[in-house]
Structure formats: C-alpha cells, structure tokens
Amino acid sequence: MAGIIESSPAHQNFSRYDISVIIKFSFILGKDASCIHKDLVTVLGENVPSIQTVRKWVKAVSEGRDDMEDEPRPDRPVRACGDANVSKVLVSLSDDRRKTCEEISTETSMSRTSVFRVLTNKLNKKKFSKWLSHLLTDEQKE
C-alpha cells in the first residue's frame, strides 16, 4: 500500500480519536470503508476497529459530521463516583464511620461496589476498624 507505514510497535498506540481522524481523512481522499479498514489493518495489525465501526464513521463523515469526538450518550448510567453519590456516602459515614460497605449500600440504595469505589477513589478512605482518610501522617499510622 503506497504511503502506508508498515506495522511496528511505534505505530500501534493510536487512540480511538486518532483512528477516527484517520478514517475521516481517508474518506476525504476518496477511499471506501473496506479500503480504509484494510489500510488500518496494515498499519495497526489487530488493534483496529471492526469493519462495522469503520463503516459507521464513514457514514457519519459522509453525512457532514465534522467533530470526531465521541458524542455524549444520554442512556448511559450515571457514574458511581458522581457528586450526588459522594454526598450520600459522606452523610451515611457522618453517623458512624464503622459502617461496612454493605450497610452504606443498603442505606444509600447504591451497589456495594459503587460505595467501595466512592470510598476508596473519591474520598481516599481505607477501612481499618472504621473508614479513615488514606493520607495519614506517620504518627497517625503508628
């Protein structure tokens, strides 16, 4: 394939955005979806989107789409670590810091894994006999 860089480790770290821009560029050059997919396979090996995904992007570009960023998905579930859930967990912990994830889960109507993610990722807490801040001084750790 003329103008295509041979597959190598240096060229296999393309993001989804990079690939979508390549698809757009190739379409503008007049290539069809199957040809674009073959070019991507040549360059990236197995790290390519499916032919259906390439066809979807080609269709979007042909219909006038300019922005190659992913569009927001309204039907996507709310993230577990959102501000509302963090507030619920904080309120639950303010009563008793010895609560388990399951107890907080029951109280807040969140899943146990969501509660755990909020506690560990957002609030930087670790469970000893009660939920404590992860950022302790050396004296506090002793």
13-71 pLDDT per residue, tens: 778 888 888 898 999 999 999 999 999 999 888 778 889 989 988 998 888 877 766 66
CATH of 9-62, picked from 3.40.50.720, 1.10.10.1450, 1.10.1740.10, 1.10.3720.10, is: 1.10.10.1450
Domain boundaries, the chain: 9-62, 83-132
SS (H, E, C) 20-82: HHHHHHHHHCCCCHHHHHHHHHHHHCCCCCCHHHHHHHHHHHHCCCCCCCCCCCCCCCCCCCC
Mean pLDDT over residues 93-114, rounded?
86
pTM over 0.85: no
